[in-house]
């Protein structure tokens, strides 16, 4: 009896410590929080607000991310965001910018282009205004990428797929099978490269890639096919019979709802569609949810240890939604503060109440910090 209780306690600690995602928070809440911060980033080009958004997301990731392989992807997204920023600046320097400027930083040799390439130049004058405009624009895209990386670090996509409604069950199974391909590909690549180094054979360059790439690809494909076969043998993918009218209604509601969500999201992300964006988005969400509810009748299944929405999850998602809503409001009320000008050159200022709105995104760091064991923290 003591052995059983001791084993149960060990298993419970392994689930609640740093071996799983933050306990008590639904993965959808983390994704809603991160995507809301990304939406807020699209409403401004103020580098101070964007830097504040980056700081908020980084602090929450450091405080709340679990000790899992997917949690280590945040560094990769940071490097990707930095690469995007550098590429954006490189394009502005080499290809020019439509922003006029008078403060010339340097002059590059200009390559003459044919008449059909009017409006495009290679080289020429590089002005401070064009570089600053490219920096603001690239920083906004980099912040959006970092917010997506924060969602991946805080809640693994595979865990989010477990919470898909029954109507998307087959899609979730296909995505889970596909997601097993990449981790096995990386693991097999590291194992084969280590084996070649022990044998004194090259593991880098084109020659090493040719000798390692084919076995790695073959092993990853075999594992994915084996997983798909095992899932099929256990009954995954089987559906219940429903009436043709219900099936057609489900397809119409789901497709129309998703189109409405896309149109409404586009309207919210553009300044011209602010009037129709929110109503179309809400109508699309209602239609899509109705379609998913009807489609769930084809997949009467249960879930093992399902994630549930609780007050902590609502607080996490609500904090991100508050940041996005307040930044959208600030963009309509005070566009000059959220979009500092570059012609003429002016130093960006930090607007106080939009900055305070961004700080609301720190609530998950206090409401849902990850619980780590004393051994792990030491």
> Does the structure show a pLDDT above 70 at 208?
no
pLDDT tens-digit profile of 8-20?
Answer: 444 433 333 333 4
**Residues of the chain above pLDDT 70, percent:** 74
What is the rounded distance in angstroms from the CA atom of residue 333 to the CA atom of residue 339? 12
What is the rounded distance in angstroms from the CA atom of residue 326 to the CA atom of residue 121? 40
CA 281, 340, 34, 321: dihedral to nearest 10 degrees? -50
How confident is residue 299, by pLDDT bands cut at 50, 70 and 90? low
Of residues 215 and 11, the one with the higher pLDDT is: 215
What is the rounded distance in angstroms from the CA atom of residue 121 to the CA atom of residue 52? 35
> C-alpha angle with apex 279: 277 to 281, nearest 5 degrees?
65
What does pTM read for this prediction? Answer: 0.70
* pLDDT the model gives residue 203: 66
What is the rounded distance in angstroms from the CA atom of residue 295 to the CA atom of residue 171? 13
> What is the rounded average pLDDT of the residues 297-307?
66
CB neighbourhood size of 54 (10 A): 20
CA 87 to chain centre: 20
Residue 103 CB-density burial (10 A; 0-12 exposed, 13-18 middle, 19+ buried): middle
How confident is residue 141, by pLDDT bands cut at 50, 70 and 90? very high
Instruction: Give helix 352-359 / helix 47-64 axis angle, nearest 10°.
Output: 20
Residues with Cβ within 8 Å of residue 327, at least 6 apart in sequence: 39, 40, 43, 44, 49, 338, 354, 357, 358
Q: Worst-scoring range by mean pLDDT, 130-144, 270-284, 310-324, 353-367? A: 270-284
How confident is residue 149, by pLDDT bands cut at 50, 70 and 90? confident
Residues with Cβ within 8 Å of residue 180, at least 6 apart in sequence: 223, 224, 227
* pLDDT the model gives residue 114: 75
Contact 133, 342 (CB under 8 A): yes
> What is the rounded average pLDDT of the residues 319-341?
87
> Does the structure show a pLDDT above 60 at 22?
no
> Does the structure show a pLDDT above 60 at 291?
yes
How confident is residue 263, by pLDDT bands cut at 50, 70 and 90? confident
What is the rounded distance in angstroms from the CA atom of residue 40 to the CA atom of residue 45? 10
pLDDT tens-digit profile of 35-91?
Answer: 899 989 988 889 999 999 999 999 999 988 887 766 777 888 898 899 999 999 888
> Does the structure show a pLDDT above 70 at 176?
no
Gyration radius of the chain over CA positions: 25
Of residues 124 and 154, the one with the higher pLDDT is: 154
* pLDDT the model gives residue 87: 92
CA 273 to chain centre: 24
* pLDDT the model gives residue 57: 92
Strands 104-111 and 122-127, sheet pairing: antiparallel
> What is the rounded average pLDDT of the residues 316-321?
91
pLDDT tens-digit profile of 241-251?
Answer: 667 777 788 77
What is the rounded distance in angstroms from the CA atom of residue 130 to the CA atom of residue 186? 40
Task: Report phi then psi at 274, rounded to 5.
Answer: -65, -25
Residue 180 CB-density burial (10 A; 0-12 exposed, 13-18 middle, 19+ buried): middle
């Amino acid at each position: 009896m003591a052995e059983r209780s001791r084993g149960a306690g060990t298993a419970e600690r392994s689930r609640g410590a740093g071996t799983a995602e933050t306990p008590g928070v639904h993965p959808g809440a983390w994704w809603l929080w991160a995507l809301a911060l990304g939406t807020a980033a699209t409403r401004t080009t103020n580098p101070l607000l964007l830097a504040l958004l980056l700081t908020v997301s980084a602090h929450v990731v450091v405080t709340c991310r679990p000790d899992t392989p997917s949690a280590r992807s945040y560094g990769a997204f940071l490097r990707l965001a930095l690469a995007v920023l550098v590429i954006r600046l490189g394009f502005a320097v080499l290809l020019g910018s439509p922003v006029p400027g008078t403060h010339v930083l340097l002059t590059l040799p200009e390559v003459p282009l044919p008449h059909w390439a009017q409006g495009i130049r290679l080289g020429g004058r590089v002005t401070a205004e064009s570089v600053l405009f490219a920096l603001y624009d690239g920083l906004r895209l980099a912040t959006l990428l970092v917010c997506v990386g924060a969602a991946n670090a805080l809640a693994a996509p595979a865990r989010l797929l477990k919470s898909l409604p029954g109507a998307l069950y087959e899609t979730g199974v296909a995505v889970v099978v596909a997601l097993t391909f990449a981790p096995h590909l990386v693991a097999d690549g590291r194992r084969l490269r280590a084996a070649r180094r022990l044998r004194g054979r090259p593991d880098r360059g084109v020659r090493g890639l040719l000798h390692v790439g084919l076995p790695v690809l073959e092993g990853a494909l075999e594992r994915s096919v084996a997983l798909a076969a095992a899932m099929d043998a256990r009954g995954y993918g089987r559906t219940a019979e429903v009436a043709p009218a219900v099936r057609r209604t489900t397809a119409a509601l789901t497709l129309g709802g998703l189109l409405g969500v896309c149109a409404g999201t586009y309207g919210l992300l553009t300044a011209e569609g602010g009037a129709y964006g929110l109503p179309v988005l809400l109508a699309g969400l209602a239609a899509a949810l109705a379609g998913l509810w009807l489609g769930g009748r084809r997949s009467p299944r249960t879930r093992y240890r399902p994630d549930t929405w609780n007050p902590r999850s609502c607080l996490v998602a609500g904090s991100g939604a508050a940041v996005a809503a307040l930044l959208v409001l600030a963009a309509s009320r005070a566009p000059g503060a959220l979009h500092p000008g570059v012609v003429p050159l002016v130093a960006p200022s930090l607007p106080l109440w939009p900055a305070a709105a961004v700080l609301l995104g720190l609530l998950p760091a206090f409401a849902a910090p990850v619980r780590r064991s004393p051994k792990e923290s030491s």
